[in-house]
Amino acid sequence: MSTEISLDLSEVTLRGTVAGAGPTVLLLHAGGERREVWAPVAAVLTRNGFRSVAFDLRGHGESSGRATTLRVLADDVAGMIASQPSPTVLVGASIGGLAALAALADPAVAARASGLVLVDVVPDLEPGRARSWLDFHGLGGRYTRLVDDVLGSGPALLATAGAVNLPILVVHGGRGSPLHDADVGRLRAAGRQVTVVRVPAAGHLVARDAPEHLADLVSGWLCGIGHGAVSASGGGGQDLR
């Protein structure tokens, strides 16, 4: 059973869905998506003993406002985290993952988190390749200001990934993904607690293409880091393919 919730922030109202009981997993969708994309993932997380919370990002689905900068989205994520029991594991797809990472630059936010899952996204994609991918999929013109801001934030996001004392799981889509192995390699070089797993059957939108596989991967990883509690091993830079 799921429950619909609302979160009122300074200038927006975010609509969300809560399902399950146990350690909290905050699910952040990709640009152009809605929180409903997480429903199959949430169902598996519930069966595996986790509580999931999925919000529509501002300007998406039933949430108000407009997403124009990464900082605005990061502030929204910080508000989401503050509204939930601590600690919270963050699972972000594409722009959702980057917003989560940007939010974690604030030590007060990072203190309430226990892990980060980046779904087919890394902090510093090569701008030209990222723009080509977005244009090919008809997304570049829809979010021009946001895209410019995100692509200019790569160095700062990579620095945050290296500085946060959190285990990080990267779920890499196996087909049609804008990520290259070198992109993932830079993240692994920046942080000691990075685990990488590839999902061959999925493209960039892993939650849509392979939701149960994604949920099983996240559940298994969470158990490995202590059911949402940060552990010393933290993933140890493994590469699971």
Q: pLDDT band for position 241 (50/70/90)?
A: very low
* DSSP secondary structure letter of residue 30: P
pLDDT above 70: residue 153: yes
- CA distance linking residue 128 with residue 136, whole number of Å: 12
Averaged confidence pLDDT in the chain: 91
Query: Which residue would you say has higher pLDDT here, 174 or 160?
Result: 160
Please tell me whether the overall predicted TM-score, pTM, comes out greater than 0.85 for this model: yes
Segment 215-234 shows an average pLDDT of 70
pLDDT above 90: residue 49: yes
pLDDT above 70: residue 234: no
* Per-residue pLDDT, 10: 85
- CA distance linking residue 181 with residue 172, whole number of Å: 9
Segment 47-72 shows an average pLDDT of 96
DSSP 170-183: EEEESSS-S--HHH
pLDDT above 50: residue 235: no
Read off the pLDDT of residues 63-74 as tens digits, 9 standing for 90 and up.
999 999 999 999
Q: Which of 91, 122, 111 is nearest to 189 (CA)?
A: 122
Instruction: List strands edge to edge, sheet with 113-119.
Output: 2-8, 13-19, 51-55, 24-28, 88-93, 113-119, 168-173, 194-199, 239-240
- CA distance linking residue 166 with residue 159, whole number of Å: 13
* Per-residue pLDDT, 227: 58
Which value, to the nearest 10 degrees, does the dihedral of the CA atoms of residues 140, 179, 100, 88 take? 140
Q: Exposed/middle/buried for 203, CB within 10 Å: 0-12, 13-18, 19+?
A: middle
Segment 14-20 shows an average pLDDT of 98
* Per-residue pLDDT, 231: 31
Read off the pLDDT of residues 204-223 as tens digits, 9 standing for 90 and up.
999 999 999 999 999 999 99
Segment 196-201 shows an average pLDDT of 94
* Per-residue pLDDT, 238: 40
Q: Of 206-210, 225-229, 233-237, which has the strongest mean pLDDT? A: 206-210
Read off the pLDDT of residues 92-135 as tens digits, 9 standing for 90 and up.
999 999 999 999 999 999 999 999 999 999 999 889 999 998 88
Q: Is 136 left (phi over 0), alpha (psi -120 to 50) or beta?
A: alpha
Within 17-151, residue ranges assigned H as helices are 39-47, 70-82, 95-103, 107-110, 127-136, 144-151
Report yes or no: 99 and 76 within 8 Å, Cβ to Cβ. Answer: yes
